Amino acid sequence: EPQIRTIYEGFGLNNRQIEIVASAEPKRDYYYQSRLGNRLFDLDLGPIALAFAGASAPQDQRDIDRVLGDAGAPGFAAAWLRHRGLDWGADLLPSFTGLPSATAFNPNIEP
């Protein structure tokens, strides 16, 4: 799309680089550009990682707010996985002992 092309050109990408990005699989392939070179790479996130890292659409953000409001910070991870249809992932969470609490990352969250 012309508007997206303009944004990529603003990042300094040339026509070939824009073609590479355009053919990439969203939420899987990422284009890295540095002084040392450029590369398209496959991040290959599994369904649990994608449930968190790939939740970027406006509806996802609304759902996150709702699930967080309902479950609170301590129960958010399991509730979010269940919301995304990943009950098996939520069932695995208790087996991970010693994980930091939500308050370890954000002291403003009430335990």
| Per-residue model confidence (pLDDT) at position 109 | 59
5-35 per-position pLDDT tens digit: 999 999 999 999 999 999 999 888 999 989 9
27-69 per-position pLDDT tens digit: 889 999 899 999 999 988 899 999 999 898 999 999 999 999 9
| Per-residue model confidence (pLDDT) at position 110 | 59
Q: Please give the Cα distance from 6 to 12 (Å, whole number).
A: 10
- Average pLDDT on 83-111 reads 77
What residues form DSSP beta bridges with 32?
39
| Per-residue model confidence (pLDDT) at position 99 | 65
Q: Are 11 and 50 in contact (CB under 8 A)?
A: no
**Looking at the predicted structure, is the pLDDT value of residue 103 above 60?**
no
Is the pTM for the entire model greater than 0.75? no
